[in-house]
Structure 1
Amino acid sequence: MSLRRRALLTGAATAAAAGLLSGCGGKDLDDLLAQAAAVPKKPARLTWWVSEIPSRRGSVVADLIIRAFERRHSHIRVSKINALSTSDGNRSAIATQLAGGSPQPDVYLGDTTWPVQFGHSSLALPVETLLPRDFWDAYPAALRSSSSYRGSVYAVPFFTDSTYLYYRKDLLAKHGLRVPRSWEELLRTSRVVQQSGDTQAGFLWQAAVTESLTANVTEFLADAGATVLDEQGRAALSGAAAERAFSLMAEFTARRVTPRTVATYQESDSQAAFVDGRGLFLRNWSYAWVNASNPTASHVSGKIGVVPRPGFEGTGRQGISCAGGWSNFVNPSSQALGAAMEFARFCAGEEVQRLLAREAGVIPAMTSVLGGREARASGDPTVLRAADLRLVSRPVQTPYYPQVSKALYTPANAVVRGDLSPAAGVRAAREGLRTALEGNAL
């Protein structure tokens, strides 16, 4: 169920799609919003559920943000609750905790795929009335779209994330090859360098039966001009464009450009292989630049370049990236709603956004910061080129997203392993999507 003004919450409504429970202890939404709108003037404490934020210079970024907030609000103290390291694990853990009406954490950091699920299940406070009218002018349109559900906003921007193609510039130079401009060229280039013995793998990516593969599939489909859901949220996966995307995933492993173990790879696995020097190309999120460039941890530091992802030949679609990142959500059961909302707004504001550009290996959510002094000083090409990307959203416009995601990644993984043909994979995914959208999938 969703929160409604002047409607009492039951505290035990089941959201079958997301497997979550809603509950705010029977509190009225208007009262909650009034509390959240009032920044406390007396001493207050709040807790922030936050996962480790990649650091550019070794600092604990969350601690820097907390200290900056407490300098502005000396009477409010913020304590961290260390979140889990994966999006799926975090979602399950925080949903279970909030479903029981726990007042903590007051603010929690969540994936940009969460707002619809958490809003539908009343596990996040709707915050659009608590933000200035022109608030969203400072952020990408795709971020507002992914933060909304049925006209309400359930997340406050923190940082975004985008995907890129990383490459070994030393190996391309050695063989007189350019950075591929299409997937077809990447296949050819990979085989040339692999056959020379200079690299084990041509292209490293993520094809495990997890959310990681959903993001990859979404991008490949967008490269080919296919979509997962239509504007009404119905299954739209079909046709030659979808099969072209699934065929590419099959071809990577069939031609041994990608190792068969890619079917078990998540982001950290593919990154580890690349920084160990075992791959020519890598598709990964922006944080991989910081990790691969670290001379104390990477065997390829100083030897890599990064560009937007290529596309298919003849389509004119290049530079597509899944819209990713993390936002702050406010717990409706918080006993410190005013402080919690003020903290969420602070993290979205210019001071923290500039801090992220300076200290963190992530992309600030505020568009103007991307071209600012801190971003330029970082020298991070993933930040400097973020505005050039064409962002696409995963099929998150449904409270059944976990089931929709599974309906995509399960047959796609089978296609990568060679257990399903591309055409059969598309058919299986379409049928799985229909079942998921009806609320009948596990």
Structure 2
Amino acid sequence: MKAIPQFLKKLSKLFEQLHKPQFLGVVAGVQLVILLLLWFTWPKAPITLTFVVPAPESQHWSRLIQDFQAQNPDIQIQLVEGAYTTNEVEAIYTSALQTGSSIYDLIYLDIIWTPKFAAAGWLSNLSDHVSSNDLAPFLIDDIEAGRYQGALYRIPFRTDVGMLYYRKDLLQQIGELAPSTFAELVQVSQQLQQQQQVRWGYVWQGQQYEGLVAMFAEVLAGYGGFWINPEIGEVGLDQAPAIQAVEFLRDTLQLGISPAETTTYDEEESFEKFQQGEVAFLRNWPYIWPRVEAMKTLQGKVGIKPMVHAPGYRSAACKGGWGLGIARNAKHPEAAWRAIQFFTSAESQRRFVLQSGYLPTRRDLFIDPAIAQKYPHFPSLLQVLEHPVLRPSIPQYDQASQILQRHLSAALTGQSSAAATMQAAAKETRRLLAKSY
């Protein structure tokens, strides 16, 4: 016991000696070593990455996030549940990014945002992070949608494509096949209505928002038309196919095939009509398929196929989808890239698809045995995704979409004729693009 006081006494004398001028350098060195040891050994708080996703899919992210955090304990993911529409989620990101805020390291990007966000300088160039071999398993259009002026800004996570759902049980009762043309869709709808099999023939997304544009792009291409050629800036909205496309949609309303309220429907509201058993045909995205099959009243009674078209043309399915990018001013870009690698991997996409019914962006997953067993229509969707309708990849996409939405809404609600509406839309769109081409 006497040894302890003696040791302390000697230690005290040592520190007195070290504080003499000739030993100050030694003291500083010891302090530096201690600080470095504390820096490398002291437990650090995890990095937090925050990003926003649309509300309908937020519930499906929890398992992926848990798996990621288990493998990466130094990174926490904070998921912000956005509103239902892509427009509102975009507004959340835009309001932060245009003010220089670094709240979002990860950016969950709709397929149509890349040119705008990249041109504004809001995204990091990911080209050096991946090789051509890394990108080879993905759908080509999903990769190309992540490029702007040759640089890659977005890695695809899930894809999407507009499809036509139909009541195959009702068609069998009247001896009809699923329609292939616009005229057949009208004819079969009226036949089912006359036999009081359904109240409505066809519902779609007619609300003034981005979903209206995606739906219209399919009808437009089904008549052989186009919206904007992004290569040369040509506008096709005042050509005959565009006018025919508007007239078809107006006819479904005026003939009573579609309810008048269709002009206020988004994806969820149109699906609600279909799931109530009141409708024979529905235009929507593949993500609703698991919900259809989960309903006892519809299970086994619904088919899914590409959109109808005009004679002489082919079915057109609008390309959708989401991917991940890194904010230009991200606080933790290395951690964000680790998250992107994990979430866009084959295994993560496989889990997400099996749980949610959303489409993967890796081609092999469409024929994965477990996925194909649960979703038998996936292999055929891969064929549809080989030739989708692409919305124009231009920095002014938001403005161009707003123009088209506004004029389409006017035509569909009877405020102006189809021809006058599309001529005005084409003129305004050309003015928007004039400085860029």
- The TM-score, its normalising length taken from structure 1, stands at 0.83
Q: Secondary structure at the match of 2:61?
A: helix
Q: Secondary structure at the match of 1:418?
A: coil
The structure having more radius of gyration, on CA atoms, is: 2
Displacement of 1:203 after TM fit? Answer: 0.5
State the Cα RMSD in Å.
2.1
In 2, the alpha carbon distance for the partners of 1:385 and 1:356 equals 20
Partners of 1:158 and 1:327 within 8 A in 2: yes
In 1, the alpha carbon distance for the partners of 2:154 and 2:302 equals 35
Displacement of 1:53 after TM fit? Answer: 7.1
In 2, the alpha carbon distance for the partners of 1:363 and 1:45 equals 30
Partners of 1:234 and 1:437 within 8 A in 2: no
Specify whether residues 47 and 299 from structure 1 end up closer, same or farther in structure 2 by C-alpha distance, changes over 3 A only: farther
Alignment correspondent of 2:382:
387
1:229-308 equivalences under 5 Å are 229-230=228-229, 231-295=231-295, 299-308=297-306
Partners of 1:54 and 1:287 within 8 A in 2: no
Specify whether residues 340 and 87 from structure 1 end up closer, same or farther in structure 2 by C-alpha distance, changes over 3 A only: same
- Give percent identity, aligned residues only: 26
In 2, the alpha carbon distance for the partners of 1:429 and 1:267 equals 24
Alignment correspondent of 2:325:
329
Q: Secondary structure at the match of 2:235?
A: coil
Alignment correspondent of 1:49:
51
Residue identity in the other structure for 1:374 = A
In 1, the alpha carbon distance for the partners of 2:138 and 2:158 equals 10
Task: Confirm whether residue 412 of structure 1 aligns to residue 408 of structure 2.
Answer: yes
In 2, the alpha carbon distance for the partners of 1:205 and 1:361 equals 20
Alignment correspondent of 2:119:
120
Partners of 1:246 and 1:412 within 8 A in 2: yes
Alignment correspondent of 2:351:
355
Residue identity in the other structure for 2:312 = G
Partners of 1:322 and 1:394 within 8 A in 2: yes
Partners of 1:207 and 1:265 within 8 A in 2: yes
Partners of 2:157 and 2:322 within 8 A in 1: yes
What is the aligned counterpart of 2:310 among 312, 317, 328? 312
In 1, the alpha carbon distance for the partners of 2:75 and 2:189 equals 54
Partners of 1:217 and 1:408 within 8 A in 2: no
Displacement of 1:371 after TM fit? Answer: 0.8
Partners of 2:55 and 2:81 within 8 A in 1: no
In 2, the alpha carbon distance for the partners of 1:242 and 1:282 equals 21
Displacement of 1:349 after TM fit? Answer: 1.2
In 2, the alpha carbon distance for the partners of 1:171 and 1:377 equals 25
Residue identity in the other structure for 2:380 = R
In 2, the alpha carbon distance for the partners of 1:248 and 1:125 equals 43
Q: Number of residues paired by the alignment?
A: 390
In 2, the alpha carbon distance for the partners of 1:364 and 1:117 equals 24
- The TM-score, its normalising length taken from structure 2, stands at 0.84
In structure 1, list runs of 5 or more residues that go unmatched: 1-41
In structure 2, list runs of 5 or more residues that go unmatched: 1-43
Q: Secondary structure at the match of 2:321?
A: strand
- The structure richer in helix per residue is 2
Residue identity in the other structure for 1:310 = V
